[in-house]
């Protein structure tokens, strides 16, 4: 079984993280050093997570209740939830399938005198041209927050130069993960200083909690290794349980989307040490095998299914999404063939405000309903990529997977 995600962390990184839980460095020095090395202009702020940074930005920007925040329509559920906690109204901007980004026109349709900010999240490891979108937001005097949680491509890219805030995540499922942490570039020095001051009052996650996290992910890395996963999934099937719940949920549930207390925290020293190692040890060339696998699978699937986001000039294949008519049928066929395809259960489209149903992001919503994420990463040989593409082609062609709607 090819696991749906490959944790982007080596055994040596996990060992380093654990060692730093025992011999802890000075966290203040470490934080300063990461920020200094990340931005010569002094724009960088290390946060506990992207959600922490977004919550900090909203606390600091102090938009009055009822203000509207434009969101590119698809994001993890937690982001719009944070805005709602401030009694702000998330307003979706529908996406274009090709880029999975909103067009600048979407801003014109959604803008009201109450709109204050734009939150745009480039998806799946793609990067498109945000300039027209940001220019449109600026014309209306909006703050621009760029959610680059899926788009880390090395310390040299720090977000669009016109964004007020660009946020990169090093959470467990992200590229170059430190099993937590975020690097944020805040271009308005006043905003930055207030965010920094506020963050410095948060409690530091305990080293033992972080050590527990490292151990948990070491265990998950072990069980998501191919032979182990194959053994486990067949054992699970024998006991009649669903692998989805037993194994996959803990992976996704590592950073629960719950309360404010869970995100209003600071990174412990050991997490910073691992973050520093991941950030500055990062080599863009390391992504080349993954990008190669992604491009191969794209070519193999061309004309078979739609691959949303594939039209972007940059694609690092953090995830490999496809759209199919019957995702559960195709997913079953793929799992039978040994490919652990999955739906995006932590993501959701932002619902339109009750009084403006015409802002329903139809394209994004229908895409999410038809979306499957495929295993596609370095280490998957051409033969397996071909077999996966063929499984999808057959599953999409089979009548069971293309149920004609029954109309009486």
149 binds ligand PLP (CB under 6 A): yes
Count residues near ligand PLP (CB under 6 A): 14
CB of 50 to ligand PLP, least distance (A): 4
CB of 59 to ligand PLP, least distance (A): 15
CB of 265 to ligand PLP, least distance (A): 11
CB of 221 to ligand PLP, least distance (A): 18
The smaller minimum CB distance to ligand PLP, of residues 149 and 380, is found at 149
The H-or-E segment that residue 47 falls in is strand 44-47
The smaller minimum CB distance to ligand PLP, of residues 278 and 335, is found at 278
The smaller minimum CB distance to ligand PLP, of residues 158 and 169, is found at 169
171 binds ligand PLP (CB under 6 A): yes
Segment lying near ligand PLP (by CB under 6 A), choices 88-96, 146-154, 193-201, 277-285: 146-154
344 binds ligand PLP (CB under 6 A): no
Contacts 24+ apart (CB under 8 A), 212-217: 213/172, 213/179, 213/180, 213/254, 214/14, 214/17, 214/18, 214/21, 214/179, 214/270, 215/18, 216/250, 216/254, 217/7, 217/9, 217/14, 217/172, 217/179, 217/254
The smaller minimum CB distance to ligand PLP, of residues 60 and 150, is found at 150
Angle at 392 between CA 387 and CA 396, to 5 degrees: 150
CB of 182 to ligand PLP, least distance (A): 5
- Residue of 8, 31, 146, 147 that binds ligand PLP (CB under 6 A): 147
Contacts 24+ apart (CB under 8 A), 6-11: 6/224, 6/375, 6/377, 6/378, 6/379, 7/172, 7/173, 7/177, 7/217, 7/220, 7/221, 7/224, 8/174, 8/175, 8/176, 8/177, 9/177, 9/179, 9/217, 9/221, 9/278, 11/218, 11/221
Distances (CA, A) of 58 to 14, 24, 65, 150, 326: 33, 32, 11, 21, 39
177 binds ligand PLP (CB under 6 A): no
Segment lying near ligand PLP (by CB under 6 A), choices 20-28, 106-114, 144-152, 226-234: 144-152
The smaller minimum CB distance to ligand PLP, of residues 75 and 224, is found at 75
**Which 99-128 residues touch ligand PLP, going by CB under 6 A?**
121
DSSP 229-244: HHHHHHHHHHTT--HI
Cα(403)–Cα(309) distance, rounded to whole angstroms?
A: 26
- Residue of 46, 184, 247, 255 that binds ligand PLP (CB under 6 A): 255
- Do 163 and 134 meet the contact criterion of CB atoms below 8 Å apart? yes
Per-residue contact flags (x/-) with ligand PLP for residues 37 to 66, judged by CB under 6 A:
------------xxx---------------
145 binds ligand PLP (CB under 6 A): no
The smaller minimum CB distance to ligand PLP, of residues 86 and 236, is found at 86
- Residue of 111, 182, 194, 396 that binds ligand PLP (CB under 6 A): 182
Distances (CA, A) of 293 to 122, 287, 298: 20, 10, 9
Distances (CA, A) of 83 to 1, 230, 352: 39, 41, 14
The smaller minimum CB distance to ligand PLP, of residues 150 and 391, is found at 150
178 binds ligand PLP (CB under 6 A): no
Q: Which residues here bind ligand PLP, judged by CB under 6 A? A: 49-51, 75-76, 79, 121, 147, 149-150, 169, 171, 182, 255
């Amino acid at each position: 079984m090819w696991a749906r995600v490959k944790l982007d962390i080596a055994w040596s990184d996990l060992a380093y993280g654990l060692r730093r839980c025992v011999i802890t460095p000075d966290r203040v020095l470490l934080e300063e050093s990461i920020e200094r090395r990340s931005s010569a202009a002094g724009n960088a702020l290390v946060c506990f997570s992207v959600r922490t940074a977004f919550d900090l930005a909203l606390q600091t920007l102090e938009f009055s209740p009822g203000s509207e925040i434009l969101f590119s329509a698809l994001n993890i559920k937690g982001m719009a939830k944070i805005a709602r906690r401030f009694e702000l109204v998330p307003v979706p901007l529908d996406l274009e399938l090709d880029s999975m980004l909103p067009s600048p026109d979407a801003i014109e349709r959604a803008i009201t005198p109450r709109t204050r900010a734009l939150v745009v999240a480039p998806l799946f490891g793609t990067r498109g041209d945000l300039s027209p979108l940001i220019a449109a937001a600026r014309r209306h005097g909006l703050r621009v927050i760029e959610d680059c949680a899926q788009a880390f491509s090395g310390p040299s890219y720090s977000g669009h130069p016109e964004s007020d805030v660009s946020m990169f995540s090093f959470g467990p499922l992200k590229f170059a993960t430190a099993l937590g942490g975020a690097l944020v570039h805040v271009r308005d020095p006043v905003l930055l200083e207030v965010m920094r001051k506020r963050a410095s009052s948060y409690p530091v996650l305990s080293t033992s909690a972080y050590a527990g996290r490292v151990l948990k992910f070491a265990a998950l890395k072990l069980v998501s290794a191919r032979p182990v996963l194959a053994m486990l999934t067949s054992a699970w099937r024998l006991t009649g349980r669903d692998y989805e719940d037993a194994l996959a949920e803990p992976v996704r549930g590592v950073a629960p989307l719950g309360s404010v207390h869970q995100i209003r925290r600071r990174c412990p020293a050991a997490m910073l040490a691992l973050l520093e190692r991941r950030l500055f040890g990062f080599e863009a060339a390391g992504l080349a095998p993954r990008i190669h696998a992604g491009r191969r699978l794209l070519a193999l699937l061309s004309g078979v299914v739609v691959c949303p986001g594939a039209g972007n000039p940059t694609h690092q294949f953090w995830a490999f999404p496809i759209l199919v008519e019957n995702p559960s049928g195709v997913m079953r066929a793929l799992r039978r063939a040994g490919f652990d395809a999955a739906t995006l259960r932590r993501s959701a489209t932002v619902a339109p405000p009750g009084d403006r149903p015409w802002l329903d992001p139809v394209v994004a919503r229908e895409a999410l309903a038809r979306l499957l994420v495929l295993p596609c990463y370095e280490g998957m040989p051409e033969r397996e990529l071909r077999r996966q593409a063929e499984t999808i082609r057959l599953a999409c062609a089979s009548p069971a997977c293309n149920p004609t709607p029954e109309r009486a």
